[in-house]
Structure 1
């Protein structure tokens, strides 16, 4: 089979990297295309994944449509030349548009409900895979699985923390330290949304700084007073840093989920986190069912939560116990990816995943 994988975000690299290795070992031809991002392309390079960058980052929301059109056109020209059997992505707007033009199947992974860009993707995608708790229904091609996208690389089958990677970068995993992630709000699904204010970022770092070392990862430029806190580790060791942290807080939803699934106390601070009835189901499950996450759109509430979680040195041990009790029973995401993609050859054009996963009904 010929398989096209597209990457728009650093988490997409982590999501697909084990699957790319397994598909390659099975003898399939895998072609990886990316959009330039602050970390996505460096991660592809660090993991030695052959790829081609098709478009640069959008510099503003106003430029998003132009960059997206460029990306889709270039993806189409490459796919037409390759003649792939399957094309796949997280979010999948470009893949869902290009795949039918080159007679390929499309497999799209989604975990965020109520996003307007889904309207651009869902009518054209062949298979849409979501966690079982996902509220929206995409119809006959909708596949649900027991787990989270992040378990493609953080499931115990796929990830074991390595303290030596941190020590090599000058970080002692036995020290008391805290991790913050500040993200750029320029994606399709970010229109009208936002995260921490500059004052909120400074306040959060100051509170953590009183209790230990603070490391920051940021896709936006940091002001001079916060630049000294920038984390020193290579991007391939970020999950080791997150695993050993005493607490995580920031406006990255992906990293909040990663922290929770690693058993690190986590506070997610962004406008999406309004209340349980309106929030995305994966965050609701992590907070209300697993007690591994705290989410809020209110900065003052978030700072109080970060204070509460970071004040007690026994909190990380409690979180690790909760994580160990649930994560081992959830699905290994890489196994899911490989199985879904290899089921989608053009010789079986009407088949969707049917045995290992539940149907679109809940």
Structure 2
């Protein structure tokens, strides 16, 4: 079969990369439409995935409208020439509309309850909308709930084995204590009107965590000069290795909080807008992610975990329970794509 995969964000690379490999190993033809945003194309290159960049992220509403209009036209040309049997995407109206225009079923993977308008103008055009079982909303008759998370498409033990050599080559000692801090840019469509850590909060967090080991910051925005020395030294495609050997994670990224949790790394998530997301409610029930709305509480809890020598063993036990109840999402994805495509 011919599979078209739309990748417009770094998280999409991780979600689909193992499925792309499986499709190719089974002799299927794959085309990847990419977008120059953050490290999206760098990750695709690092994983050896051939792709066609269709647009670049700009700044502001005017640039966004211009980008997505142009991207839609270019995606339509690509799809028309490729003639896909199935289109895989995250929640992306452009991919959904193009799929309809070329008469190819679109399988959407969706896990963000706060998507709002984007959700309503996209999901009706999809053949299947896959959501985690815990997803807090019904999105239509084409919704398919599954026992897993997007992050288990690439962090399930069947798909990922952390490599300490990649860390030592970058100057990180996996046997010494360290914490990973993630700072997001808060510019996504569902982030309007919100903000992450304050500059003062970040500096206090880093200072206090440094008393318990190294601190590595990964940030979407450039770090100020006084924090630049804390920038994580590993390549973008080694970030999961860094998380896997970390003694703790703290940040305002929901994706990375989930990734840390699924790697049994004690995880504290700063959620300033108190989002009601089924994934995090379930991960909290497993005891794998602690989501807090107050910056002061986040700092105190992260420091407490960094000072707790038994936190890691508790998280590993909780992870084992979760993995016994969830699926290999890549296997689910490839089987579903073949079914929808009529293979």
Shorter-normalised TM range: over 0.9
Mapped partners of 1:333, 1:50: distance in 2: 22
Mapped partners of 1:253, 1:332: distance in 2: 20
Mapped partners of 2:135, 2:301: distance in 1: 26
2:218 corresponds to: 217
Q: How much has 1:90 moved relative to structure 2?
A: 1.4
Residue aligned with 2:340, SS:
coil
Mapped partners of 2:250, 2:37: distance in 1: 22
Residue aligned with 1:222, SS:
coil
1:11 corresponds to: 11
Match of 1:304 among 295, 300, 306: 300
Mapped partners of 2:299, 2:62: distance in 1: 32
Q: How much has 1:184 moved relative to structure 2?
A: 1.6
- Equivalent residue runs for 1:214-293 within 5 Å: 214-272=215-273, 274=274, 278-287=275-284, 289-293=285-289
Aligned CA-pair RMSD: 1.4
Residue aligned with 2:19, SS:
helix
Mapped partners of 1:249, 1:109: distance in 2: 26
Q: How much has 1:179 moved relative to structure 2?
A: 0.3
Mapped partners of 1:281, 1:230: distance in 2: 31
2:191 corresponds to: 190
Q: Is the 8 A contact 1:15 1:149 kept in 2?
A: yes
Mapped partners of 1:308, 1:94: distance in 2: 44
1:43 corresponds to: 43
1:215-235 CA distance string (max 9 Å, x none): 011110110011111111112
1:93 corresponds to: 93
Mapped partners of 2:8, 2:333: distance in 1: 17
What runs of 5+ residues in structure 1 fail to find an aligned partner?
A: 349-362
Q: How much has 1:340 moved relative to structure 2?
A: 1.3
Which stretch of structure 1 is more off in the superposition, 306-315 or 35-44?
A: 306-315
Mapped partners of 2:309, 2:244: distance in 1: 15
CA 1:68/1:200 → structure 2, altered by over 3 Å: closer, same or farther?
farther
Q: Is the 8 A contact 1:247 1:264 kept in 2?
A: yes
2:167 corresponds to: 166
Match of 2:291 among 288, 295, 304: 295
Does the alignment pair 1:326 with 2:322?
A: yes
Moved segments of 4+, more than 4 Å: none
